Amino acid sequence: MAHRILLGTLVVLCALALVTPAGAVTVNGVDYVLLAKHEILMENSDACPNPPPIPTSLHCMFIQGNVGVSDTDGRLRTGSHNIISNAGGTASATAHNIVLASFADIDICRYDITSGATPASVCGTVVTPLPAGTLPLVVNWQAGSGPLGAVVNDPCVNTATDVTVAAGGTLTLPLGANNGCYRTVTVGAGGTLNLNAGQYKFRSLNLQSGASLTGAGQPTTTVTITNPTITATGVKISDIRLQSRGSANFSVTEYFSIGGSSTLNNVVLYAPSSAIHLHSGISGTTAANNIEAVANFLTVEPINIETVIPPTCGCFEDVTKAGTTLQITGGNNLNQANAFFISPTCDTTGATQVNPIGAVTPTDATLDVSGKTCAAPGCHVIAQFTAGTWCSATQTVLP
C-alpha cells in the first residue's frame, strides 16, 4: 500500500495510518500465516519467553498467527520451544495429525490425532476431533493452482533480456515494452531492485547477500518465477508477492528458499505445487512482518512472524547544499526512511533516488548528489517511509 503525502501533512496523518494485511489466505474465515497442502515441518528453537524480547540473540520460533495443513491426512510437526501465539490467545495450529514437541506453546491446537508431548503441556485450548468437513481446509487444491489461484509460467522469459543490478547499486525496473517479462534477474550484494505495480515474469531470480527487492505492495506487484529461487543471507524483501508454479505435480522441491538473517515485510510466498524453506541462519533469526507462505510443503526454521507492521512516519526541517552533497537536518525518524529521492515535484513517480553517505541518524542525513542536475527552481528532497513520504518545502538547484 503506497501513499503520497505532501509537505507537513505526514505528521498528522501518520498517527491515523492503518495497516493492510498481506494478501490474506483466508479459509472459512481463518487467515493463515503458514498454510501447506500436505505438511509443515517446524524446526527446534531456543528456549524463548512468550513473547520473545526484541532485539534478541536467541533463535526464536514466534508466530503470531494461524498455521494450517489442508489435506485430510496432512501433518504438522512442531519443534521444541516453538511458539504459535498472539496477544489475544487466538493463534491456532490446525492439521489432521499434529506432532507436539516438548516445551512448545500454542494458543489453540486443532487436530484429529496427535503424538509427542501431551496436549495439556503445550496447548492452551484443544479441539479434537476436528468437526466434520474441516478438512481439507482448501477444497480442490490442484497442481499449479491453490488457494491464491492458478500460477501459469510464461514462455516469454526464455528469450527475454537479462537484468543485473551491480553490487551496491540501485535500479527501478519498469514493466516496459516487454510487459514485465525478463529472463535472469540478479541483484548483487547490497544492491536494490525496485519494481513498479504490475505483473512481472522472471525465468530466474538471484538475490545475493544483503540485496533488497521492493515492490509497490502486494498483490499490486506480483512476480511469477519459473525456476527455483534460492536467496543468499541477509536479503530484504518487501511489498510484493513472489509466486512459482513449481513442480508439474506435487513435490517437496524447494521453489523458494529464503536465506537466514533476512527481513520480509508485507510479502506473500506462493508455491502451490512444491515447497518453501524459510531459513534462520547462524547470525540471527529471519524477521517477517505481515507475511504469508503457502506451498505443498513448508520447512520453517526459527523465525519471528508478526502479523502487523506499524507504519513509520518521519520528517525533516532543513536541506543545505554542500558541494556534491545535500545535508538534511532537523529530522525525526530519518533512520527509518526506506529511500531518499530528488524531484522537481513532490511525487516519487519519475523521481531520482539518491543514496545516503555514511550513517543516517534519526535527525540527520547526508545525500550523495554527485552527477545529478536540477535546473531552476530546483528539486525537492523526498524521504519515503512506510506510512508515506515527506517532501521538503524548499527546492535546491543542482549542481
Length of the chain: 399
Q: State pLDDT tens for residues 52-64.
A: 887 788 899 999 9
Considering the domain boundaries, does residue 194 fall inside one? Answer: no
Q: State pLDDT tens for residues 151-205.
A: 999 999 999 999 999 999 999 999 988 899 999 999 999 999 999 999 999 999 9
Enumerate residues 6+ apart whose C-beta is below 8 A from 119.
100, 109, 126, 128
Is the pLDDT assigned to residue 303 strictly greater than 80? yes
What does the block give as the cell for 332?
Answer: 525525526
Locate cell 535546473: which residue?
375
Between CA 272 and CA 70 the distance in angstroms is 12
Q: State pLDDT tens for residues 13-38.
A: 222 222 333 445 677 778 899 999 99
Considering the domain boundaries, does residue 363 fall inside one? Answer: yes
- The pLDDT score that the predictor gives to residue 314 is 84
Is the pLDDT assigned to residue 11 strictly greater than 50? no
Considering the domain boundaries, does residue 338 fall inside one? Answer: yes
Q: What's the number of domains the chain is made of?
A: 1
pTM for the model stands at 0.73
Considering the domain boundaries, does residue 355 fall inside one? Answer: yes
Task: State the CATH number of the domain containing residue 383.
Answer: 2.60.40
- The pLDDT score that the predictor gives to residue 57 is 83
- The pLDDT score that the predictor gives to residue 328 is 95
- The pLDDT score that the predictor gives to residue 343 is 95
Considering the domain boundaries, does residue 232 fall inside one? Answer: no
- The pLDDT score that the predictor gives to residue 2 is 25
Q: Which residues of 273-289 are buried (b: 16+ CB within 10 A; e: fewer)?
A: bbbbbbbbbeebbbbbb
Is the pLDDT assigned to residue 286 strictly greater than 80? no
Considering the domain boundaries, does residue 378 fall inside one? Answer: yes
Pick the residue with more confidence: 336 or 231? 231
Considering the domain boundaries, does residue 362 fall inside one? Answer: yes
Is the pLDDT assigned to residue 5 strictly greater than 50? no
Pick the residue with more confidence: 19 or 248? 248
Is the pLDDT assigned to residue 245 strictly greater than 90? yes
Q: Residue 55, preceding bond cis, omega within 30 degrees?
A: yes
Considering the domain boundaries, does residue 128 fall inside one? Answer: no
Is the pLDDT assigned to residue 311 strictly greater than 70? no
Look up the domain containing 347 and give its range. Answer: 9-16+311-398
